């Protein structure tokens, strides 16, 4: 092999690697990611006696348009109740938010290919993934809707979780506090 042919092969090799890097970078930048830090999460665990419901207006969420990968995250202390004493009991006695400060969901919108992000409308979606509360992850699957309006998506969904499945214990679960909590998510995303 001559030195000239070795230089040509090396140059072709480097051009090929450069092409792969440019293609991969373009692929990553082509993936549109939507995000919000002001999503809403409502929960209701009202049992037989008192209304036990709260809202968190600081849901951090992102999803990738091409893959449907989606995450939701909340600080447990971000839930606000009508009654301050109930909020204190929620954080101290039930959720132990000092030890378990966050709850999150990581999963996928399974039918993301059925959503036309260029066309306004409401699209039914199926979401599957792992919900982590109180340090325990459980599989969750639910349906919801993705609405496109003015080029921006919103996701709305609702599901129930069994409180004891997440290791949450307390004196009044099953009496004042329902065995299952109903959770509603409403996130309006930015581009």
Tens of pLDDT along the chain (191 residues) come to 666 666 665 556 555 565 656 654 444 446 899 999 999 999 999 987 778 999 999 999 999 999 999 999 999 999 999 999 999 999 998 999 999 999 999 999 999 999 999 999 999 999 999 999 999 999 999 999 999 999 999 999 999 999 999 999 876 787 788 899 999 999 999 87
Q: Are residues 55 and 149 in the same domain?
A: yes
Q: Are residues 17 and 94 in the same domain?
A: no
- Structural domain tally of the chain? 2
Q: Are residues 25 and 43 in the same domain?
A: no
Q: Are residues 139 and 164 in the same domain?
A: yes
Specify the DSSP class assigned to residue 165: G
Q: Are residues 145 and 167 in the same domain?
A: yes
Q: Are residues 146 and 171 in the same domain?
A: yes
Q: Are residues 107 and 181 in the same domain?
A: yes
Q: Are residues 182 and 104 in the same domain?
A: yes
**Can you give the pTM of this predicted structure?**
0.80
Strand ranges (DSSP E) for 9-164? Answer: 33-46, 53-64, 69-75, 80-81, 102-109, 121-133, 136-149, 152-162
Length of the chain in residues, anyone?
Answer: 191
Q: Are residues 22 and 69 in the same domain?
A: no
Return the CATH number at 125.
Answer: 2.40.128.110
Residues of the domain holding 78: 32-188
């Amino acid at each position: 092999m001559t030195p000239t042919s070795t230089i040509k092969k090396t140059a072709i090799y480097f051009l090929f690697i450069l092409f792969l890097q440019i293609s991969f970078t373009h692929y990553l930048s082509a993936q549109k990611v939507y995000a919000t830090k002001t999503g809403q999460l409502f929960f209701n665990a009202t049992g037989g006696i008192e209304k036990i419901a709260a809202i968190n207006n600081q849901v951090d969420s992102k999803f990738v348009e091409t893959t449907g990968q989606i995450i939701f995250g909340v600080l447990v202390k971000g839930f606000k109740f009508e009654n301050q004493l109930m909020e204190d009991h929620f954080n101290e006695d039930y959720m132990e938010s000092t030890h378990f400060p966050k709850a999150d969901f990581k999963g996928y919108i399974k039918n993301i290919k059925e959503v036309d992000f260029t066309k306004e409308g409401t699209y039914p979606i199926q979401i599957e993934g792992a919900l982590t509360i109180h340090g325990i992850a459980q599989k969750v699957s639910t349906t919801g809707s993705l609405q496109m309006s003015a080029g921006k998506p919103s996701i709305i969904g609702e599901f129930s979780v069994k409180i004891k499945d997440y290791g949450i214990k307390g004196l009044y679960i099953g009496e004042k506090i329902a065995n299952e909590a109903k959770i509603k998510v409403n996130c309006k995303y930015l581009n």
